[in-house]
Structure 1
Amino acid sequence: MDTWINGVVCADLSVLQKTLEVSEMMDVRSFDVIDSLYREKGYLDGDELASSLDISTRTLRDIIKDVREHVEQYGATISYKNNFGYRLEVHQKTLFESFLAQEKKNIENMRFDYPVTSDERCDYIIRRFLLSSTPVKSDDLCEELGISKTTFAQDLRHVRQILSRYELQVEVQSKKGLAVSGSEKNMQSCMADFVFYNDFASSASFTTHSIGQFCRQYEQKIRTCVNRVLSDNDYHMTDLGINNLVVHILITLYRGQMDPSKPDLSDVKINEDEYRLEISMAQQMADLVADYTGMTLLEEELGFIAVHIIGSRLFSREDENLISMETLNLVRDLFEEIRRHYGISFFDDMELFALMCMHMEPMIQRVRNGIPMRNPLLDTIKSENPNGYDLAVYACRWLSQRLNASIDENEMGYMALHFGIALDGMKKPGQKRVLAVCASGVGTSRMLKYNLEKLFGNSVESITTARMSEVTQMDLSEYDLIVTTVPFDYPVSTRVIQVGCYLSQSDQDALRNAFTASSDNADQLIRAFDPAMYIENGDAETWQQAVEQLCKGMSSCINIPDDFLKLTMDREMLSSTYIGNRCAVPHPTSVVLEENRIAVMHLKKPVVWSNGKRVEWVFLIGMKRYEDAGSDQLIHALYELIGDGNALRQLKLDASYDHFIRILQSVLSVQSEAEDDFFR
């Protein structure tokens, strides 16, 4: 019989002894303090350390007092210095690191049974709801978590926000307690994220929980059934897709045991004539599962399994004939929409067209039936290629309207991989597109082009020649440099250099400077961060207020469209712009400005962002309409800053504009042009 110990279902009471043993070890907060000081390798401000751990400075002082003697047993000391903070000095490295590694292992297992931070408690509460067959009383949760009713009420509000993203609600059942309600499909999706696709699945808490024991007993059997059917039918699925399917079957069977009335998964949209093979394979899997486990999958659940199979099919070039006309037309129309909205044409990239078709064929079935496809690279994709991700966000918004189905950010991330590679291939790093302008003669144009090619060789991606009379009909923003033999009076942002047809020594020197110098040096990049658009200690209480205040500040300095705020809010609703390190980068769905500008806010108190994460720094990005190297450098510099934890810690100590600029300059000075491109 299952027994609840600290909110965890345990198969036998022997686990109680282990729990009592763990309670005698170092607690989570003490470990976090020691670990933070060790990773700092220097002094760490007390206020900053307390804030990062969601504790008061008084609590921090008490913890430091308690752990000082403890770490001394393992060859380390903790000291304090006015105006600098705390510092951990290690005198016996091997002994201390061995101690820290063992404590880390113990603590990682404890976090799920004894959550400390608000985020950890919210995860605990959600798992408690999902894994309980009966309503859970709030008093029991308060006792298990060791928190007051006021703190629990605050956590519960956050829990409701998280569950709303799955279209689930927390119901109060009179005299019984709290329970989660919603469709079975959404319930399973939430359960997959909070039980299987996070660190809980590899913890001791999962192992001792009844669902962990259920998985240990049946997971390999179900995986064998799935792989056998795929092999028998010579059908290929992605590794992630196979894993998702196994997890889905596990959850379905487990929830079937929790509720003998069986969950309803009948709302599946699938063309039975078109997908006879996949429906047959679902039945084959169900038959094998029954043989291997003794548990039965209902007929209405087979359609859901079939959709998982279809949605994770792995296409190869040999399967291109299986791509439907709907998909071909959808990709073609999507490329046309991107060309209309962004001015970027992918029609010459047949590799991208083929890859996008093979990706979108199963994706259509996933989104129509609400089958989530987890993306373990999502955070990396967002940070490493923001341009490709934003293009994918817009593309998925357009697709969701065409398909009349919502598309989550995991799907956006996969699409961003394709767009990222295509965008990267459009323009080789370091190469320039040059427009050579002459008065009228064909001979002088050819001579100028020849001399430019001779001078710069592979440094030039393309050289386009044009007569002065043709310039007014051209989009000059496509070029990185304009070289002209005649006076050029048109207002353009692109650099213009006037030379002679035969390129004198001074002409060559001027052109070399243009090619070797960055199109936007550090000073030009920093000008994007106007002091009038910098808020040192913002008082916004919600992420919406933060965005509104930054938009207002930007509008007071430069001309922005009337719908700039709306476009920014629309972008946030498509996919959260939280980027990690308690930073968010809101921006509109389109590039709408005449110049690059970034408005910055450092918040006195962190706000909860649209994805439930806490944010201290908000960077409102406004990019100019036409793309140039300066725009790429600006975004790269910002993401370098956000990814530099040490720089952000320094800024937290002094959030003034002058200090921010000094930190930004230091980040720019160490940027490496030879950095590997993740998407390559």
Structure 2
Amino acid sequence: MLNSRMKIILRELMTAEAPISSNYLANLNQVSSRTARQDIKDLNGILSGSGALIESVMGKGYRLGINHDKLFRDFLKETLHDSDKGNQEIPRTPEERINYLIKRLLLSEGFLKLDDLAEELYISKSTIQNDIKEIRKKLARYKITLESRPNYGLKVKGNEVKLRFCMAEYIFDRNEPIIEPYLDSISQADIEEISQIIMRKIKVHQITLSDIAMNNLLIHIAIAYNRIESGYHVSLQQEDLKEITDQYEYEVAKEIVKEVEHHFQVNFPSTEIAYIAIHLLGTKIASQSDSVVEQVMDPEIMELVTIALEKVEEKLNLELKDDKELVFALCLHLKPAINRFRYDMNLRNPMLEDIKKNYPLAFEAGIIAGIAIEEHTSIKIDEGEVGYLAIHLGAAIERKKLTLGPKRCLIVCGSGMGTAKLIYYKLNAQFGQFLDIVGTTEYYTLSQYNFEDIDFIVSSIPISINIPVPVIEVNAILRNSDLLKIENRIMKNKQLVYSYLQKDLVFLQKNFTTKEAVLEFLNEELLKKDLVDDDLLEAVYEREKIAPTAFGNLVAVPHPITPKSARTFIAICTLEKPIQWGEKSVQFVGLLCVKKDSQEDLQNMYDRFGQIIDSSTVVEQLVKAGTYEEFMKVFRG
């Protein structure tokens, strides 16, 4: 059976584009390289006969070879998604321990003693007491408390609806398939039957549910059945119940429950039916036709979307507020979302970590939009909801990229095609995604060229004829001054990401052991150089409270919730060993400071951070770099 460290290693190897070193895997698991190598050896033994093999690449690390796809897929279904049922594996990291303990507390019928839990996890009493402090904070988000009774221990206490929401979040891991073997009294066949019942009824009644909404409803009905069997029932205020029973979705919920009752031979009280109706009310999606969209875009929702997008525009200058498709999408999303918020109903977001990791700019825009909505409605927007807002905003950002596209240029050279190709390859390597080189041509054919789709010409010889696009004259062997002229033409208001870095703000291989120590150090350095306001650190911590800025793959990009500097820059700190940052390990910290009232286009900077976050190889090279020159060589990409 795979232990937690092996799962992490296997997942890293499955997603890596290049071999991964044992040092990097050791840092992820917070163990020695020797232990990491032993884990890899043990994992290879388990993989033997399962269609895969971990290969050692001389001088580079390890990669996963899959020689029998079906065998390997079967292995993943049976092993990777197997839970820690029966306590067969012991949680190692603080995050794993806390999630394990929350599951234990939620599933326990009675009190649990701290001494017993500490013994179960092979940790000290003081360690588990610290974990309990963190658990109290996490449970408080669901308005759940821990009841403590001398000589008895701890027990969760809270409204049954909130307990159920919490169970859905922690018992069913958002990164795993939704069916987990925690609910012993319900089989896979039963789960499939519930799924079929839901799908039949929503099809008949033409209620459209997203895959995520469908999964949430399925999870909650399974939990409801399990809890009813244990004698627990949801309680709702009578006035809330009356309002829900008047809704069309309540009738659909009754039909779903009737079939579930028949299958399981169990009686769902009316409050349970109402609870399922809330799911249908809170997650239904209107038809995308313009006429329906106009109907659902009531003035209040429209005002909310306008306020949110104006705030995003003010802070990030993304030019999205006039994107009609985005406005429609947010209106359609927020109308049912307001209904969820009203009942304190969380919508699990299994894509949250992927969104944060792959679309950091969109996630930042989602946070800004969420804060604007909170201020206008006094409704608390949680991190999962921010993730859903970010999906819509990210789609708009990508649409805008497609509309704008890279600049298109034509190369003219009088020294022969060899030199023209040299210029071509140099420009391609230097500017990549920002420049589309449509081709090379000789001077004498230039007058016959169609310039309709050309933004400018790069020429190594003077051009005397009249042509309708700008000409940038360069040396046949490109110099830095030539590249700068081309960069200015391509980027206009944009800047290449490395222009935001300066040598005295890159601090390499420091030995800090906490997030706080890193942030305090960077803050002191920036204050010494008079680059930021005195309250920068406070604004950074305020942003961290909303959602930690550790995006995975050992990278964190902290920043103040509001601008605190007169110019835009990045202060970098890499660490000798990973530190804990919220629930993730971090070894690369990029403190981003955007200037007040900035009109800069920061998309390319976030894109570069996204590329870094996505590549374990790049992160490993960056944290290994011992000099600014070595670091920048990797960072420029």
Which bracket does the TM-score occupy, shorter chain normalised? 0.7 to 0.9
Matched, 1:133 2:109: yes
2:360–2:610 Cα contact (<8 Å) kept: no
Q: 2:269 aligns with which of 293, 298, 323?
A: 298
Paired position in structure 2 for 1:145: 121
1:400–1:406 Cα contact (<8 Å) kept: yes
Paired position in structure 1 for 2:421: none
SS class of match (1:175): coil
Deviation at 1:330, TM superposition (A): 2.5
Paired position in structure 2 for 1:277: 248
Matched, 1:636 2:607: yes
Q: TM-score, normalised by structure 1?
A: 0.70
Alpha-carbon deviations, 1:140-189, whole Å to 9, x = none? 33444344545544544554454344443444332223222333333222
Paired position in structure 1 for 2:372: 398
CA distance in 2, matches of 1:141, 1:380: 32
Alpha-carbon deviations, 1:444-463, whole Å to 9, x = none? xxxxxxxxxx9964456xxx
SS class of match (1:649): helix
Q: 1:366 aligns with which of 340, 344, 356?
A: 340
Q: 1:534 aligns with which of 469, 482, 506?
A: 506
CA distance in 2, matches of 1:135, 1:549: 44
Paired position in structure 1 for 2:528: 556
2:309–2:320 Cα contact (<8 Å) kept: yes
CA distance in 2, matches of 1:456, 1:161: 62
Paired position in structure 2 for 1:448: none
Moved more, 542-551 or 242-251: 542-551
CA distance in 2, matches of 1:35, 1:411: 26
Q: After the TM superposition, which residues 469-548 of structure 1 pair with which residues of structure 2 at under 5 Å, given as runs?
A: 508-509=471-472, 514=486, 518-519=490-491, 525-538=497-510, 540=512, 542-548=514-520
Q: After the TM superposition, which residues 286-435 of structure 1 pair with which residues of structure 2 at under 5 Å, given as runs?
A: 286-316=257-287, 317=289, 318-320=291-293, 321-339=295-313, 346=320, 348-426=322-400, 428-431=404-407
Alpha-carbon deviations, 1:443-489, whole Å to 9, x = none? xxxxxxxxxxx9964456xxxxxxxxxxxxxxxxxxxx9xxxxxxxx
CA distance in 2, matches of 1:217, 1:71: 29
CA 1:326–1:537 in 2, change beyond 3 Å: closer, same or farther? Answer: same
Q: 2:633 aligns with which of 662, 670, 673?
A: 662
CA distance in 2, matches of 1:65, 1:413: 34
CA distance in 1, matches of 2:314, 2:241: 33
CA 1:69–1:107 in 2, change beyond 3 Å: closer, same or farther? Answer: closer
Alpha-carbon deviations, 1:267-322, whole Å to 9, x = none? 99689299621233334434443333232333333443222111111112242324
Q: 1:122 aligns with which of 95, 98, 110?
A: 98
Residue identity in the other structure for 2:154: L
SS class of match (2:30): coil
1:431–1:458 Cα contact (<8 Å) kept: no
CA distance in 2, matches of 1:178, 1:428: 58
CA 1:564–1:231 in 2, change beyond 3 Å: closer, same or farther? Answer: same
Paired position in structure 1 for 2:161: 185
1:37–1:44 Cα contact (<8 Å) kept: no
CA distance in 2, matches of 1:458, 1:506: 10
Residue identity in the other structure for 1:508: V
CA distance in 1, matches of 2:309, 2:56: 61
Residue identity in the other structure for 1:132: S
Residue identity in the other structure for 2:526: M
Residue identity in the other structure for 2:100: Y
CA distance in 2, matches of 1:315, 1:35: 37
2:244–2:277 Cα contact (<8 Å) kept: no
Unaligned runs of 5+ in 1: 1-21, 433-453, 461-480, 482-501, 669-680
CA distance in 1, matches of 2:523, 2:277: 47
CA distance in 1, matches of 2:406, 2:469: 23
Query: Sequence identity, in percent?
Result: 23
CA 1:538–1:425 in 2, change beyond 3 Å: closer, same or farther? Answer: same
Deviation at 1:536, TM superposition (A): 2.9
Moved more, 409-418 or 328-337: 328-337
SS class of match (1:618): strand
2:543–2:560 Cα contact (<8 Å) kept: yes
Residue identity in the other structure for 1:372: N
Residue identity in the other structure for 2:97: R
Structure of greater relative contact order (alpha carbons < 8 Å, 6+ residues apart): 2
Alpha-carbon deviations, 1:193-251, whole Å to 9, x = none? 22224466578xx43x4x14415364344334433443443332323222212211221
Residue identity in the other structure for 2:114: S
Unaligned runs of 5+ in 2: 409-448, 457-464, 475-481
Paired position in structure 1 for 2:587: 616
SS class of match (1:412): helix
CA distance in 1, matches of 2:10, 2:203: 51
Residue identity in the other structure for 2:30: D
SS class of match (1:376): coil
Deviation at 1:424, TM superposition (A): 4.0
The number of residue pairs the alignment matches comes to 569
1:215–1:250 Cα contact (<8 Å) kept: no
CA distance in 1, matches of 2:337, 2:73: 45
SS class of match (2:592): strand
Deviation at 1:643, TM superposition (A): 1.9
CA distance in 2, matches of 1:584, 1:388: 16
CA distance in 2, matches of 1:56, 1:617: 19
SS class of match (2:82): helix
CA distance in 2, matches of 1:93, 1:330: 50
CA distance in 2, matches of 1:227, 1:80: 48
1:169–1:180 Cα contact (<8 Å) kept: yes
Alpha-carbon deviations, 1:569-596, whole Å to 9, x = none? 3322222222111211112334564433
SS class of match (1:135): coil
CA distance in 1, matches of 2:522, 2:369: 27
1:586–1:620 Cα contact (<8 Å) kept: yes
Deviation at 1:365, TM superposition (A): 0.7
Paired position in structure 1 for 2:413: none
2:56–2:62 Cα contact (<8 Å) kept: yes
SS class of match (2:235): coil
Q: TM-score, normalised by structure 2?
A: 0.74
Matched, 1:572 2:544: yes
| Greater gyration radius | 1
CA 1:57–1:94 in 2, change beyond 3 Å: closer, same or farther? Answer: closer
1:255–1:263 Cα contact (<8 Å) kept: no
SS class of match (2:268): coil
1:583–1:616 Cα contact (<8 Å) kept: yes
Residue identity in the other structure for 1:117: R
Deviation at 1:40, TM superposition (A): 10
Matched, 1:109 2:91: no
1:268–1:304 Cα contact (<8 Å) kept: no
1:598–1:622 Cα contact (<8 Å) kept: yes
Q: 1:223 aligns with which of 179, 195, 210?
A: 195
Deviation at 1:394, TM superposition (A): 0.9
SS class of match (1:219): helix
2:544–2:558 Cα contact (<8 Å) kept: yes
1:430–1:459 Cα contact (<8 Å) kept: no
Residue identity in the other structure for 1:421: A
2:575–2:623 Cα contact (<8 Å) kept: no
CA distance in 1, matches of 2:226, 2:11: 38
Alpha-carbon deviations, 1:336-373, whole Å to 9, x = none? 44455556665543332222221111111112222222
CA 1:605–1:594 in 2, change beyond 3 Å: closer, same or farther? Answer: same
Alpha-carbon deviations, 1:381-435, whole Å to 9, x = none? 3333333322221111111222222112222222223223334444512259xxx
CA 1:514–1:58 in 2, change beyond 3 Å: closer, same or farther? Answer: closer
